[in-house]
Structure 1
């Protein structure tokens, strides 16, 4: 990833596309993980304004319901709530089963939710590194469970369905030589030698690798999978960081959530995005260069295999 490309993502040019260009989404069902806050919330708002049926999938029911009410005041339209805690595979399975009981189609899945820089002693319910478990393993499992509904929707409607995977510039900048360091995904000496930023970047690289594998494995079943960097944004994502100097620097580089939502909204709604299966987008709704570490076919296959093994172990009760 060249320096010019990186700088261009820190300081993007003005967008050339606006949400006013989104077509009418009547009849489409969409699900946004983490849709109660940040760019997820903005994404839900815009989708509702264009007549989609939208689910907010989140861990904190009270915050999600509050967001649903606020968005309804703004739009006159009400999103649905789905209980989903991506850091607990049991919750992920329950959420997917509940969603498929309630719906007969899913046109777009926005894998938007994530955590950044939590304390090192925080782990998932199944004792994975919290960032990788929440940002990579949890979304992988949820996506895997709803894939039958996605492929059935594509078959019954004769149109492409989409999986939009929100990554980060940190995924692009993660050391290519390291790839996914599997020894750091559980607690232990290898993980403790790394810092929170390294573990976050690794989880975001994981998002892109999974997105690419989805594109390779399911294109013949009508699925479009796109990964993206939404940009550096004014959200609550960095709430765990307590260093005032670091937060001051971050604040200088952050942009409004309305801009941040543009890229995933374009990926999830525009006809042109159907030509970008396995592609990578950068701020604001521009086609980007696939990071070299994420373009590694062997790395993508290895991560997919590892993720399936963790899911199988969980389902077997081990």
Structure 2
């Protein structure tokens, strides 16, 4: 009860733009930056002279976001690059990653901020996968794979400390509401996943996102790179309680706070909760993810195999 109350009514953010150093030369890739939390996060980074790639489907909305951010921070010496990306299309993901790599030689933090909530039954990505699973898991999984070498190259730079290069996955407390084990891979294979109510599919896709963060944590930690899940809070349901900037502070903490490092995130039972604190993940999800960390078999290993099957030819 106490933990639930604390997450619904979190203490004030302790890591804000006031704590940020000058970010000249640092590069950030943010999906879903045209409104709300993503827009606020982009503006915070730009205000400190960062180079920010604003990544979304709609070019017109991206152009509006760029002008809005520039008007908020007219003295910034940062750079804003709009970049088209549809997370529901693997071809679009691949093209967007290629365009980014042609424009930037470094990537300090990859923010998987974009998402979709409870679309109508039958909604699918461009490849026939349920839309939320495609946008929250398969698209970001492919994107992270395609940008992995850029992250590693950045982590090796002399001006980058251990743990400063990161991948931030915007999670949800909905992952804690899933059936035991989080993701039933057999349902993904036989199509029964589509039969769940849209909010249930959303929650399961967010559990899958947590598993993917754990996978990349195992892959990247030896390179000094953090992969962390950040739950920004229930802003859709509680907009009267919290402002978008507070959710942006949660992501900012996950992406840039020096309080996060290889030691504080050594256990995969930890994620970032509002508005910039460490919280604990449901034990059975942690146990499922540990089968991956320990390179054993398990349901989560099957989930990764399913992801690889769906992305065959793109990875």
TM (norm. structure 1) is 0.87
Structure 2 CA distance for aligned equivalents of residues 9 and 258 of structure 1: 16
Q: Does 1:232 align with 2:234?
A: yes
1:8 to partner: Cα distance: 2.2
- Report what 1:73 is aligned to: 71
- Report what 1:182 is aligned to: 185
1:78-129 CA-to-partner distances (Å, cap 9, x unmatched) read 5211111001111001111111111110011001111000111210000000
Task: Find the residue that maps to 2:157 and give its secondary structure.
Answer: helix
- Report what 2:20 is aligned to: 22
- Report what 2:168 is aligned to: 164
Q: Does 1:151 align with 2:152?
A: yes
RMSD (CA atoms): 2.0
Structure 2 CA distance for aligned equivalents of residues 252 and 281 of structure 1: 20
- Report what 1:315 is aligned to: 314
Structure 2 CA distance for aligned equivalents of residues 197 and 64 of structure 1: 28
1:184 to partner: Cα distance: 4.1
Q: How does 1:81-120 map to 2 (within 5 A)?
A: 81-120=82-121
- Report what 1:304 is aligned to: 304
Structure 2 CA distance for aligned equivalents of residues 30 and 184 of structure 1: 36
- Report what 1:246 is aligned to: none
Report the number of matched residues. Answer: 296
**Which stretches of structure 1, 4 residues or more, deviate above 4 A after TM superposition?**
251-254
Q: How does 1:33-72 map to 2 (within 5 A)?
A: 33-72=31-70
1:183 to partner: Cα distance: 4.1
1:51 to partner: Cα distance: 1.5
Contact kept, 8 Å, 1:176 with 1:292, in 2: the verdict is no
Contact kept, 8 Å, 2:15 with 2:257, in 1: the verdict is no
Comparing 123-132 with 68-77, which one deviates more in the overlay?
Answer: 68-77
- Report what 1:214 is aligned to: 216
Structure 2 CA distance for aligned equivalents of residues 83 and 184 of structure 1: 32
- The gaps in structure 2 that reach 5 residues or longer are 292-298
Contact kept, 8 Å, 1:87 with 1:125, in 2: the verdict is yes
1:71 to partner: Cα distance: 0.8
Contact kept, 8 Å, 2:185 with 2:303, in 1: the verdict is no
- The gaps in structure 1 that reach 5 residues or longer are 235-249
Q: How does 1:190-205 map to 2 (within 5 A)?
A: 190-205=192-207
1:59 to partner: Cα distance: 0.8
Contact kept, 8 Å, 1:31 with 1:54, in 2: the verdict is yes
Structure 1 CA distance for aligned equivalents of residues 274 and 82 of structure 2: 28
Contact kept, 8 Å, 2:170 with 2:231, in 1: the verdict is yes
Task: Find the residue that maps to 2:106 and give its secondary structure.
Answer: coil
Structure 2 CA distance for aligned equivalents of residues 194 and 231 of structure 1: 23
Structure 2 CA distance for aligned equivalents of residues 79 and 174 of structure 1: 38
User: What is the aligned counterpart of 1:291 among 279, 282, 291?
Assistant: 282
Comparing 58-67 with 288-297, which one deviates more in the overlay?
Answer: 288-297
Contact kept, 8 Å, 2:90 with 2:314, in 1: the verdict is no
1:186 to partner: Cα distance: 6.5
- Report what 2:294 is aligned to: none
Contact kept, 8 Å, 2:185 with 2:302, in 1: the verdict is no
Contact kept, 8 Å, 2:13 with 2:250, in 1: the verdict is no
- Report what 1:261 is aligned to: 248
